């Protein structure tokens, strides 16, 4: 055989890969919390047409969903310093992920809110639920339950998309993979191991989100 497979140089760097994987997971966790939070705010403002914020969020959604993630990332990291805003590479990566997920989840959750029958809100009023109770149990939870699978997929996409943050020297999993590959030139072995790591991480996050959904979002129905 022409090519001798050798995984030892990759496994020698297992600590770098694990560190990178943990960093990716951390970025995704914080990014998801903040991003989905932003999405909920945006979805409510847009679904209920609260002016002028609904228009502003509409603009934001169009801007982010119609431009590439890597360009948004480069703008934050390389562009903003010209305006005096200097973020470190992990701050820039996190901000880009929050902004990106915020835009997509605004639209996903808005769809869930719009799918709630008007009668359900009227029923809540008839039962004398407070505004907050009615928002929490009659609007948000059923809306999230309807779009939970779509939202989970979007979170996975953001986790996988964080790979491009290696371009601004954020030391996440792809950075570790590129770093190892640039030292041992074992591209096949390095990227095979990295691919498997991403796959395992994606499956774990999907399972975790499914469990959270059953336990906290759909369980209440």
Partner 1 sequence: MTKAHRSLLGLLFASLSLSPAFADGLSDITERGVLKVAVPQDFPPFGSVGPDLKPRGLDIDTAQLLADKLAVKLELTPVNSTNRIPFLTTGKVDLVISSLGKNPEREQVIDFSSAYAPFYLGVFGPQDATVAALDDLVGKTISVTRGAVEDIELSKVAPKGATLKRFEDNNSTIAAYLSGQVDLIASGNVVMAAIAERNPQRVPVMKLNLKNSPAYIGLNKQQPALLGKVNEILASAKRDGSLEALSQKWLKQPLPADL
Minimum CB distance to partner 1, residue 87 (Å): 9
Q: Does 167 bind partner 1 (CB under 8 A)?
A: yes
Burial 164-193 (b: 16+ CB within 10 A, else e): bbbbbebbbbbbbbbbbbeebebeebbbeb
Judged by CB under 8 A, which of 7, 48, 115, 182 binds partner 1?
Answer: 182
Q: Six-digit token pair at 10?
A: 């990759």
Judged by CB under 8 A, which of 2, 82, 126, 128 binds partner 1?
Answer: 82
DSSP per-residue letters across 134-165: IIIIIIIHHHHHHHHHHHHHHHHHHHHHGGGG
Judged by CB under 8 A, which of 23, 69, 175, 198 binds partner 1?
Answer: 175
Judged by CB under 8 A, which of 55, 65, 86, 136 binds partner 1?
Answer: 86
Site string for partner 1, 117-156 (x = CB under 8 A): ----------------------------------------
Smallest CA-to-CA distance from 98 within 153, 29, 147 is with 29
Sorted by sequence, the CB contacts under 8 Å of residue 144 that are 6+ apart come out as 109, 112, 151, 217
Q: Binding residues for partner 1, how many (CB under 8 A)?
A: 17
Minimum CB distance to partner 1, residue 168 (Å): 7
Q: Does 72 bind partner 1 (CB under 8 A)?
A: no
Q: Does 78 bind partner 1 (CB under 8 A)?
A: yes
The upper half-sphere exposure of residue 9, i.e. CA atoms within 13 Å in the direction of its Cβ, equals 17
Map tokens 């022409």 to a residue: 2
Distance CA 109, CA 141 (A): 10
Q: Does 166 bind partner 1 (CB under 8 A)?
A: yes
Q: Does 77 bind partner 1 (CB under 8 A)?
A: yes
Distance from CA of residue 92 to its chain's centroid? 14
- Quick check: 147 and 116 in contact, CB under 8 A? no
Q: Does 89 bind partner 1 (CB under 8 A)?
A: yes
Minimum CB distance to partner 1, residue 12 (Å): 16
Instruction: Give the residue with the Cβ less far from partner 1, 107 or 171.
Output: 171
Instruction: Give the residue with the Cβ less far from partner 1, 89 or 107.
Output: 89
Q: What is the SS3 assignment for 27?
A: helix
Q: Does 178 bind partner 1 (CB under 8 A)?
A: yes
Site of interaction with partner 1 (CB under 8 A): 77-79, 81-82, 86, 89, 166-169, 175, 178-179, 181-183
């Amino acid at each position: 055989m022409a090519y001798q497979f050798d995984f030892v140089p990759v496994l020698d760097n297992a600590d770098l890969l694990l560190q990178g994987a943990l960093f990716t997971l951390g970025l995704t966790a914080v990014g998801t919390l903040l991003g989905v939070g932003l999405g909920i705010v945006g979805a409510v403002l847009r679904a209920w047409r609260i002016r002028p914020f609904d228009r502003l969020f509409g603009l934001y959604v169009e801007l982010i969903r119609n431009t590439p993630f890597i360009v948004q990332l480069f703008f934050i990291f390389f562009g903003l310093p010209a305006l005096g805003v200097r973020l470190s590479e992990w701050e820039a990566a996190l901000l880009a992920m929050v902004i990106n997920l915020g835009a997509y989840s605004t639209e996903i959750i808005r769809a869930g809110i719009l799918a709630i029958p008007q009668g359900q809100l009227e029923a809540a009023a008839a039962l004398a639920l407070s505004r907050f109770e009615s928002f929490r149990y009659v609007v948000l939870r059923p809306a999230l339950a309807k779009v939970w699978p779509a939202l989970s997929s979007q979170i996975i996409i953001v986790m996988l998309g964080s790979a491009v943050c290696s371009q601004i020297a954020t030391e996440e999993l792809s950075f570790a993979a590129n770093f190892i590959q640039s030292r041992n030139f074992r591209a096949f072995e390095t990227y095979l191991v990295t691919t498997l790591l991403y796959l395992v991480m994606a499956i774990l996050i999907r399972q975790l989100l499914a469990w959270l959904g059953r336990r906290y979002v759909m369980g209440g129905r």
